[in-house]
Amino acid sequence: MLVSLHTPYVDTCAADLSLALGGPERPALHVRDLTLPGDVRLRLRLLGASHQVVLAEPGGAAGLTETVACLPGRPPHLPGALHDEAGGYRFTASVLRPADGELHTRIAGLRADLADDPYALVGVFPGDPDAVTALAARTDLPHGSVGWRTWHAYPQTNELVLTETVVALR
């Protein structure tokens, strides 16, 4: 699902992002509720130049909330990797600084790939077609796990932040 947002793009960069687990749902620009095989529910949430994913496990069991955003009162820190084996949570992030013109090419491809994906949400901000935040649930994981990928494009700093999360269900 491709959504043209009316809220101006938040002037930020990858260095401003933090990862937070738990906590309340934050104000969202757009939300997409999904039900995945096995009655797993995901709520994909666009938060300006950031995202939030809320997971509810089968039977409505509380799952987790993942937020990648500029969070008030929290120092910016986006870990390259976070693995909580006991909790079944695995997160990775990378920041790319593409060569001249490559960011535009990558974002155009991403928008085309995800535009009709029933498990994706792509927010395009006014003023720059490359100012994009995208989330996509993964449907290719083994039974008993759920995951998602996100892309945060910052054309003003020529940065593309990629995240991937996999959660083992209880």
Give the global pTM: 0.89
> Could you count the other beta carbons within 10 Å of the beta carbon of residue 65?
18
Q: Write out pLDDT tens, residues 96-111.
A: 999 988 999 999 999 9
Domain boundaries, the chain: 2-168
Q: Write out pLDDT tens, residues 46-86.
A: 987 689 999 987 666 567 999 998 877 778 889 999 999 98
Which tops the pLDDT comparison, 87 or 136?
A: 136
Measure the CA–CA gap between 41 and 56, rounded to whole angstroms.
5
Q: What is the pLDDT of residue 4?
A: 54
